[in-house]
């Protein structure tokens, strides 16, 4: 056993109990600076200036070790922020399983990734195992639109391939992830007193409903999904509502298809509004809509031949494990690293489960397993 599992557990619990909601990662960043500066000889630390754009109370933290092996450098990535409710985390340990006390998330997404990296480098150094040059990239604001990764000062990063530790499971290497667009739609009707002058109104909620019925939602095809997740409108039961806002998203592993689906969404709103307005014309009334889309993140697609995939497969074989190559449905820092920073990145799980819920949990054995994988990646 290369990894000190109880020390890993301690680091993990400590990290989880330092609150770090998005934009307030500063205390975790300070803990990590202190950790690497005092416990891991040879660490060089850089904090970038991404906070001037992200609004976080710290930048992304990059920790570099030169290593003794004359091999290509790799980076490992985990994000420092957690989702809400994530303040006042108290970790409960039941045997091998860590959970929150039920009122917050655990924050194992992604403190498990951070703890794995802390413990792995401690173990490598303690056992005097030679390792390749490695950089850890700890990002901010992953959970609010990958803002830390988007604003990473990648000139500070010397390696060009690496692994993001930020997913469920332990037996897969994620080599593909979809692109996503956010959709914002405002539907404008005409307000009127619902009891006295209903003929003077155009009910925006009703128009929105007709649009919603026609929108393809859920799983569109094997590589695409769509959702409307928020709807708001209306002011009182006796007022015909003149305004409704809808927010949603579309994802696809194929960016061309994502653009086509987004246009299709727009055309459905346009078609329904046109049809409604034909009916309202006799009353000299009309509805209108405003459709906005925002590219949230681009797709990522690696091949089994990519060097980092091969390295990970070899590292897992050295551990007598067999990892599957898969494509997944989420967007993460890896999408941004691959597309915008020239950092070839795959994603590997940490064993985290039920993430983004107060039921979130993780097994120590799974974190140990993934620490051993990283240990092997850096030292074989």
Just list the catalytic residues.
81, 142
Q: How far apart are CA 356 and CA 261, in angstroms?
A: 27
Chain mean position to CA 355 = 11
Identify which of 114, 139, 74 has the alpha carbon closest to the alpha carbon of residue 333.
139
Whether the bond into 312 is cis, omega within 30 of 0: no
Output phi, psi for 175, to 5 deg. -110, -5
Least Cβ distance, residue 79 to Zn ion (angstroms): 6
Judge whether 67 and 130 are in contact, CB under 8 Å.
Answer: yes
Least Cβ distance, residue 114 to Zn ion (angstroms): 11
C-beta closer to Zn ion: residue 234 or 330: 330
DSSP state of 68: S
C-beta closer to Zn ion: residue 110 or 172: 110
Task: Pick from 47, 48, 109, 293 the residue near Zn ion by CB under 5 A.
Answer: 109
Residues 159-218 that bind Zn ion (CB under 5 A): 166
- Please give the structure tokens belonging to residue 379: 């030292």
Whether the bond into 110 is cis, omega within 30 of 0: yes
Transcribe 156-199 into DSSP letters.
G----EEEEE-SB-SSEEEEEE-EEEEEEEEEE-B--BTTT-GG
Q: How far apart are CA 47 and CA 32, in angstroms?
A: 11
Residues 22-61 that bind Zn ion (CB under 5 A): none
Binding mask 235-274 for Zn ion (x = CB under 5 A): ----------------------------------------
Output phi, psi for 263, to 5 deg. -65, -40
Least Cβ distance, residue 110 to Zn ion (angstroms): 4
Least Cβ distance, residue 109 to Zn ion (angstroms): 4
C-beta closer to Zn ion: residue 22 or 224: 22
Binding mask 116-155 for Zn ion (x = CB under 5 A): ----------------------------------------
Regarding 360 and contact with Zn ion (CB under 5 A), the answer is no
Q: How many residues bind Zn ion (CB under 5 A)?
A: 3
C-beta closer to Zn ion: residue 167 or 225: 167
Least Cβ distance, residue 322 to Zn ion (angstroms): 25
C-beta closer to Zn ion: residue 149 or 276: 149
DSSP state of 239: B
Q: Which helix (H) or strand (E) holds 219?
A: strand 218-221
Least Cβ distance, residue 143 to Zn ion (angstroms): 7
Least Cβ distance, residue 333 to Zn ion (angstroms): 8
How many angstroms separate the Cα of 305 from the Cα of each of 113, 295, 313, 342, 367? Answer: 25, 29, 11, 17, 27
Scanning 65-73, 80-88, 109-117, 319-327 for contacts with Zn ion by CB under 5 A, the matching segment is 109-117
Task: Pick from 25, 47, 81, 110 the residue near Zn ion by CB under 5 A.
Answer: 110
Output phi, psi for 221, to 5 deg. -155, -175
C-beta closer to Zn ion: residue 91 or 244: 91
C-beta closer to Zn ion: residue 182 or 356: 356
Which residue in this structure is represented by tokens 């061309």?
256
Scanning 105-113, 171-179, 225-233, 306-314 for contacts with Zn ion by CB under 5 A, the matching segment is 105-113
Q: How far apart are CA 205 and CA 203, in angstroms?
A: 5
Contact set with Zn ion (CB under 5 A): 109-110, 166
């Amino acid at each position: 056993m290369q990894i000190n599992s109880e020390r890993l557990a301690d680091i993990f619990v400590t990290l989880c109990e330092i609150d770090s909601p998005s934009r307030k990662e500063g205390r975790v960043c300070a803990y990590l600076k202190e950790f690497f500066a005092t416990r891991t000889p040879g660490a060089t630390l850089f904090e970038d200036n991404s906070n001037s754009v992200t609004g976080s109370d710290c930048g992304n933290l990059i920790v570099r070790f030169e290593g003794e092996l004359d091999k290509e450098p790799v980076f490992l990535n985990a994000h420092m922020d957690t989702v809400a409710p994530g303040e006042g985390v108290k970790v409960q340990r039941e045997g091998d399983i860590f959970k929150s006390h039920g009122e917050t998330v655990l924050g194992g997404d992604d403190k498990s990734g951070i703890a794995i990296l802390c413990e792995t480098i401690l173990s490598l150094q303690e056992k005097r195992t030679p390792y390749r040059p490695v950089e850890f990239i700890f990002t901010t604001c992953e959970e609010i639109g990958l803002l830390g990764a988007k604003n990473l000062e990648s000139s500070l990063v010397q390696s060009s391939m690496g692994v993001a530790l930020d997913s469920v499971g332990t037996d897969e290497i994620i080599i593909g992830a979809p692109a996503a667009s956010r959709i914002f739609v405002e539907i404008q009707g005409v307000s009127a007193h619902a009891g006295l002058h209903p003929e003077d109104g155009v009910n925006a909620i009703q128009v929105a409903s007709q649009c919603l019925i026609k929108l393809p939602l859920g799983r569109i095809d094997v590589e695409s999904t769509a959702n409307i997740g928020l709807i708001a409108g209306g002011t009182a039961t006796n007022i015909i509502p003149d305004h409704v806002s809808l927010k949603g998203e579309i994802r696809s592993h194929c960016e061309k298809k994502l653009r086509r689906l987004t246009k299709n969404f727009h055309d459905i709103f346009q078609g329904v509004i046109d049809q409604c307005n034909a009916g309202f014309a006799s009353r000299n009334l009309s509805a209108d809509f405003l459709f906005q889309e925002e590219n949230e993140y681009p797709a990522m697609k690696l091949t089994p031949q990519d060097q980092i995939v091969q390295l990970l497969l070899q590292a897992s074989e050295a551990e007598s494990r067999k990892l599957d190559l898969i494509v997944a449905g989420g967007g993460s820092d890896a999408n941004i690293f691959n597309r915008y920073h020239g950092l070839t990145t795959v994603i590997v799980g940490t064993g985290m489960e039920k993430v983004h819920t107060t039921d979130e949990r993780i097994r120590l054995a799974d974190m140990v397993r993934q620490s051993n994988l990283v240990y092997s990646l850096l030292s074989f």
